Structure 1
Amino acid sequence: MVQVIQASNLELHEVEERFNLQEVRDLEFFSEWQGEMSAPSGFEKQILDKVKEDFLVIAKYSPSEEIIKLTVLAHLLFSAGLTSPPFFPKAETPVEISFEDGNEVIRGRIDVLILHERLWAVVVEAKRHSLNVSEGLAQALFHMMSSPNHETPTFGFLLNGTEFQFVKLVKQQTPQYGLSRLFSLRNPGNELYSVLSILKHLKEVVLQ
Structure 2
Amino acid sequence: MTSTFSAREINLRYLIDQFSLQRINDPNFFSEWQINLPSLTSLEKQELDRIQSGYFNLLDNPPLLENVVKLTIISPLLFIGGFYLQPYSIKAEKSISIAKESEGVLIEGRLDILILKPQIWAMIIESKQLSFSLEEGLAQLLAYMLADANPNLMTYGLITNGADFQFLKLIQRETPQYGLSNKLFIGNREKDLYQVLQILKKLSAISG
TM value normalised by structure 2: 0.93
Deviation at 1:139, TM superposition (A): 0.5
Q: Secondary structure at the match of 1:32?
A: coil
The Cα shift of 1:106 comes to 1.2
Cα distance in structure 1, aligned partners of 2:191 and 2:82: 20
SS in 2 for 1:75: helix
Structure 1 distance, partners of 2:185, 2:170, is 22
- Mapping of 1:86-101 within 5 angstroms? 86-101=87-102
Change (3 A) 1:97 1:37: closer
Q: Distance in 1 between matches of 2:71 and 2:200?
A: 17
Deviation at 1:56, TM superposition (A): 1.9
Is the 8 Å Cα contact of residues 183 and 191 (structure 1) preserved in structure 2? Answer: yes
Match of 1:80 in 2: 81
Alignment of 1:16-95 (within 5 A): 16-60=16-60, 61-95=62-96
The answer as to 2:198 corresponding to 1:197 is: yes
Deviations 1:35-80 (A, max 9, x none): 2322221111111111111112213413222221111111222222
Structure 2 Cα separation of the partners of residues 76 and 148 of structure 1: 28
- Alignment-mate amino acid for residue 96 of structure 2: V
Structure-2 residue corresponding to 1:151: 152
Answer yes or no: is the 8 Å Cα contact 2:52–2:187 preserved in 1: no
The residue correspondences of 1:174-193 to structure 2 (distance < 5 A) are 174-193=175-194
**RMSD (CA atoms):** 1.5
Q: Which runs of 5+ in 2 are unaligned?
A: none
3-state SS of the aligned residue for 1:33? coil
- Secondary structure, aligned partner of 2:166: strand
The 1:39–1:185 alpha-carbon spacing in structure 2 relative to 1, beyond 3 Å, is same
- For residue 25 of structure 1, what is the amino acid of its counterpart? N
> Which letter maps to 1:68?
V
| TM-score, with structure 1 as normaliser | 0.93
Q: CA separation in 2, counterparts of 1:62 and 1:149?
A: 40
Q: Which residue of 1 aligns with 2:131?
A: 130
Structure 1: which 5+ residue stretches go unaligned?
none
Deviations 1:79-126 (A, max 9, x none): 222221111111111111232246432110011111111111111111
Task: Report how far residue 13 of structure 1 moved.
Answer: 1.4
State the Cα distance separating 1:12 from its structure 2 match. Answer: 1.5
Q: Distance in 2 between matches of 1:206 and 1:99?
A: 26
Query: What is the distance in 2 between the residues matched to 1:149 and 1:62?
Result: 40
Aligned mates of 1:62, 1:179 — CA distance in 2: 29
Paired residue for 1:107?
108
d(CA) in 1 for partners of 2:66, 2:15: 23
State the percentage of identical aligned residues.
Answer: 37
Contact 2:155 2:170 in 1 (8 A): yes
